[in-house]
Structure 1
Amino acid sequence: MGIRRRFGYTKIMNTPDSNSSPAKPDEGDTPSRTATAYHEAGHAVMAVSLGRQIHKVTIAPGKQAFGGTRLGHCEIKKGRTKGANDQLEDDVLILLAGMVAEARFTGQYCHRGADRDLKDVANLLCTRAASSRQHVTLRRRMLAKTEHILSDDAHVAAMTIIADELLEKTTISGRAVRHHFHQAQQQHS
């Protein structure tokens, strides 16, 4: 099965200030590595909650096809387990979820770290917004919706578990992501 879209970091991000500390610090993990784990966990949790199938999630550094580096990525398979009401909206929510999840850890958005995701969001929203004002309004609504969805206790728990496992193993399978997501859903229902 082919990979549909990759969501993840494209540039080296700003590290959080010394006053912020990770939710669960692990020995040997830097704040930027932990932030990357939360970023990728956010993409994965949003994707699974919207019915997408995950191939794998990693925080291993790598190169992009057209140059540049990325700190991690979430590979999503083609297809979905449930029908989407609006595929474009789902794609935007998944793209924004990395930055939103990371901000739960660092306390602020890292626009530089989510640069590729934000460019993809802008490209997608241009197909819906006729003017720049509509574009800004739509982006603001999508960001608020992403924050709302990821503020659910079960989603927060799933992101934390997935981020912890990424810090431990660097790469995890889509099956492990689904397992952690469903386990968090059961614990918080």
Structure 2
Amino acid sequence: MSEHAIDPAKAELTATAYHEAGHAVMAMAVGRPIEKVNVTPRKMLTGGTRLGICHLQSGRSKSSKDWIDETVLVLFAGMIAEARYTGKYCRQGAAEDLRAIKRLLVHRASDERQLERAQQRLLAKAEHLLEDTGHALAIEWIARELIERGSVSGKAVRHFFDLALKQSS
């Protein structure tokens, strides 16, 4: 019997940890520093519950040639990293990220087909970036730390990211 069947609460925490770690690693990969990542459930103003969050540092990113594409990569990375743990995309769990992606890309597309192509292109790019051994290792380490502690500082995220890249090279 798998771990998922034995303890659904632990499986959900682990999936959330991988999701948030994916956001953090992609943010670091595109030059956006992290303030903090946590997987402590919190109530949202809309009445729902947010299972985790990755806080980016404001105003400290490298200048980028395409801020929208980089933001979309960070948003997709959570769902991708979670899928590496669960074995499938959880679009329901990533619904807020997917809505944000659509809001960012809708003004670039002249029709629904063009929007879909842009989303597929950036999803494929995010998948490719997260296949990197160093990025995958950083996600693993950050997720484990989130499961154990509930939150990880931006400094610790940077440490795990740099160490994983160094170890994989």
Q: Say whether residues 1:138 and 2:118 are aligned partners.
A: yes
Q: Write the distance in 2 (CA, Å) between the matches of 1:93 and 1:99.
A: 10
1:174 to 154, 159, 163: 154
2:54 to 67, 70, 74: 74
Q: In structure 1, what is the Cα distance between the partners aligned to 2:146 and 2:152?
A: 6
1:81 shift after superposition: 4.3
What is the CA–CA distance in structure 2 between the aligned matches of 1:64 and 1:142, rounded to whole Å? Answer: 28
The Cα of 1:53 is off from its aligned counterpart by 1.3
SS at match of 1:66: coil
2:81 equivalent to 1:101: yes
Q: Where does residue 156 of structure 1 map in the other structure?
A: 136
CA–CA distance in 2 between the matches of 1:49 and 1:65? 31
Give TM-score, length-normalised by structure 1: 0.84
Q: Indicate the RMSD between aligned Cα atoms, in angstroms.
A: 1.7
Q: Hey, which bits of structure 1, 4+ residues long, moved more than 6 A?
A: none
Give the paired residue count: 167
Q: Which amino acid aligns with 1:156?
A: A
Paired letter, 1:93 = L
What's the counterpart of residue 127 of structure 2? 147
Identity percentage of aligned residues? 49
**In 2, Cα distance between equivalents of 1:63 and 1:77:** 22
Distance, in Å, in 2 between the alignment partners of 1:67 and 1:127 is 29
2:164 match: 184
Structure 1: segments with no counterpart, 5+ residues:
1-17
Q: How does 1:73-92 map to 2 (within 5 A)?
A: 73-92=53-72
Equivalent residue for 1:5? none
SS at match of 1:79: coil
1:62 to 42, 51, 67: 42
Q: TM-score, normalised by structure 2?
A: 0.94
Higher strand share: 1
- Tell me the distance in 2 between the aligned counterparts of 1:97 and 1:81: 18
Report the 3-state secondary structure (helix = DSSP H, G, I; strand = E; otherwise coil) of the residue aligned with 1:55: strand
Which of the pair is proportionally richer in helix? 2
The letter for the 2-side match of 1:107 is G
Task: Give ranges in structure 2 of 5+ residues lacking alignment.
Answer: none
Instruction: Kindly state the Cα deviation for residue 66 of structure 1 after the two structures are TM-superposed.
Output: 3.1
How far off its partner does 1:82 sit?
2.3
